[in-house]
Amino acid sequence: MAETAAAAQRAEPAARPKLSRTWANPLRDERDKRIPHIPGPCSLVIFGVTGDLSRRKLLPAIYDLANRGLLPPGFALVGFARREMADEDFGAEVLAAVKKHARTPFRQEVWDRLAEGIRFVQGSFDDDAAFDNLARTLEDLDARRGTGGNHAFYFAIPPAAFPLVLQQLTKAGLSQGSDEQWRRVVIEKPFGHDLASAQDLNALVNETFPEETVFRIDHYLGKETVQNILALRFANQLLEPIWNAHYVDHVQITMAEDIGLEGRAGYYDGIGAARDVIQNHLLQLLAFTAMEEPVSFDPHQLQAEKVKVLSATKLVEPLDESTARGQYAEGWQGAQHVVGLHEEAGFAPDSRTETYAAITLEVDTRRWAGVPFFLRTGKRLGKRVTEIAVVFKRAPHLPFDATMTEELGQNALVMRIQPDEGITMRFGAKVPGSSMEVRDVNMDFSYGEAFTVASPEAYERLILDVLLGVPSLFPVNEEVELSWRILDPVLDYWAAHGKPEPYESGTWGPRSADEMLHRTGREWRRP
């Protein structure tokens, strides 16, 4: 009997759910979804660590993850840049960025633990010795911090530098993992400037890192409200029966900024609003809005549904009527008078780069056939806002006199992504009084009011997913190339046909954008 009991005890651990090697957290019960995922021992190497993106977003996000207990004890942060600094000097710069930009309160004990794993490697991208030093630094961290040979490389650098850095990582023996050690690469947008360059870039990266280890950062996909699109659609039976062409009249996806170039003329000239925003952010939002329900939220299942949508997405023609572009001119942004694009420092006076872009798309599927998707983005517009507005068809019959409903518009569901994250539903309701008068009202859900926990920054979620090896929120190369296939004909058409139309700063874009919708009997929302 004793031998039987002992054998049962020895067998018991094998019957328990096996923990994922990716998360490597022995305290986590896989059945309890409330406990957050925590990566195993690893390091994050940031190329371009002294740049604005690192100071304002990446370094604060790493501290916030540590402050929330979401980084392993064996975590290490390695900065690589040309500036000559000791580890202590680099640590001081990280500390300054954290204190200035971190979302969560500063705690000395958290910082002290994080600082133990901070290292800096000085060198240029063509310096073989610098990458040899990087390899030695990571080996030392494996020994001293127990990072286990698991390293992610974050390219916060211009795409033109990618080939050289990839070559150097290979030469230094840093790009190849093994069954027990992983290597990953993180790439910031832009993912090329057209289809051909995107294909070249993907081929170049995949020569060094297999596709499953490549993480293309689109920070919009890390926002809580973007992820809530999936929860809203697939956790609620309320919307599914009407989420189709039978009931939806059209969809508007807007990303509006109230700022100008803000000193980024050198980067922005030659890129423009369509490449900068529509090709990545807005087409990804379209995919989340229009996709079919995935079999599960496994990353590959989710990506497969997005690929299907983008494969079915077509431009509405003719392009001279279904697209619009503009450049902001001087005007008033609130109480401040601002200069136009061509007066911005560093911008070429004869530039044809657009600061406003709008296009009309259709998703050629049974669910969405005939429903136009209007995408627009611009700088120096009336308000900073990003939203998805699903506008429904009017009721086929209204048993009211025309005067009773003259102030009644179309029902709409608006998903607000920034800055006031939430969801608004617009519908008709009777005005109080003795007469029957119907008018639009809004029912509003706000994240800030409904939940006491502040939403994490997008980079927190995305960096954590990189370290976990969870690719759900990262576009794969097929999505990137499909997005360029959609946009390239518009860019080619604009390049061959005149200049962008000026629009006054503080307004909602050029007149041609309003005419684009008026031709279809519709109009843009004014958020």
User: What pLDDT was estimated at residue 402?
Assistant: 59
Which residue among 37, 219, 250, 281 is the active-site one? Answer: 281
| Superfamily in which the 32-188 domain is placed by CATH | NAD(P)-binding Rossmann-like Domain (3.40.50.720)
What are the φ/ψ torsions at residue 180 (nearest 5 degrees)? Answer: -105, -10
How distant, in Å, are the alpha carbons of 217, 227, 292, 332, 402 from that of 284? 12, 12, 14, 32, 40
User: What pLDDT was estimated at residue 395?
Assistant: 77
Q: What is the pLDDT along the chain (527 residues), one digit of tens a residue?
A: 444 444 444 444 444 333 333 333 333 334 444 456 889 999 999 999 999 899 999 999 999 999 999 999 989 999 999 999 999 999 999 999 999 999 999 999 999 999 999 999 999 999 999 999 999 999 999 999 999 999 999 999 988 899 999 999 999 999 988 888 999 999 987 788 999 999 999 999 999 999 999 999 887 777 776 778 888 999 898 899 999 999 999 999 999 999 998 767 767 888 999 999 999 999 999 999 999 999 988 888 989 999 999 999 999 999 999 999 999 999 999 889 999 998 888 788 888 999 999 999 999 999 999 999 999 999 999 999 999 999 999 877 565 555 555 556 788 999 998 888 889 988 777 777 666 777 677 788 887 777 666 667 889 989 999 999 988 778 888 999 999 999 999 999 999 998 999 999 999 999 999 999 999 999 999 98
Q: Where are the beta strands (DSSP E) in 312-470?
A: 313-315, 323-329, 331-333, 336-338, 356-363, 372-378, 385-392, 412-418, 422-430, 438-446
Residue in the structure block whose two tokens are 């293309």: 216
pTM of the model: 0.86
The C-alpha angle 223, 489, 504, rounded to 5 degrees, equals 65
Q: What contacts 24+ positions apart, CB below 8 Å, involve 489-498?
A: 489/315, 489/319, 490/274, 490/315, 490/319, 490/323, 490/359, 491/194, 491/274, 491/275, 493/319, 493/320, 493/323, 494/274, 494/323, 494/325, 494/352, 494/354, 495/352, 497/320
Sequence-ordered list of residues with C-beta below 8 angstroms from that of 203, at least 6 positions apart, any chain: none
Q: Rounded to whole angstroms, how far apart are CA atoms 461 and 108?
A: 23
Fold for 221-396+473-518, please state it. Dihydrodipicolinate Reductase; domain 2 (3.30.360)
Q: Which two tokens stand for residue 482?
A: 């499909």
User: What pLDDT was estimated at residue 511?
Assistant: 97
Q: Rounded to whole angstroms, how far apart are CA atoms 49 and 55?
A: 7
User: What pLDDT was estimated at residue 345?
Assistant: 81
User: What pLDDT was estimated at residue 10?
Assistant: 44
- Dihedral angle at the C-alpha atoms of 95, 458, 303, 481, nearest 10 degrees? -80
Residues in the chain: 527
β-partners of residue 214 are 185
Amino acid at the residue 189? K
Cβ 293 vs Cβ 465: under 8 Å? no
- The domain limits of the chain are 32-188, 221-396+473-518
User: What pLDDT was estimated at residue 218?
Assistant: 80
- Dihedral angle at the C-alpha atoms of 336, 339, 341, 346, nearest 10 degrees? -110
Please provide the DSSP assignment of 219-248 as one string. GGGGSHHHHHHHHHHHS-TTTGGGSSTTTE
Q: Rounded to whole angstroms, how far apart are CA atoms 215 and 301?
A: 17
Sequence-ordered list of residues with C-beta below 8 angstroms from that of 179, at least 6 positions apart, any chain: none
497 is catalytic: no
Half-sphere exposure of 520 (CA within 13 A, CB side): 23
Reported as a single tens digit per residue, the pLDDT across 322-348 is: 999 999 999 999 889 999 998 888 788
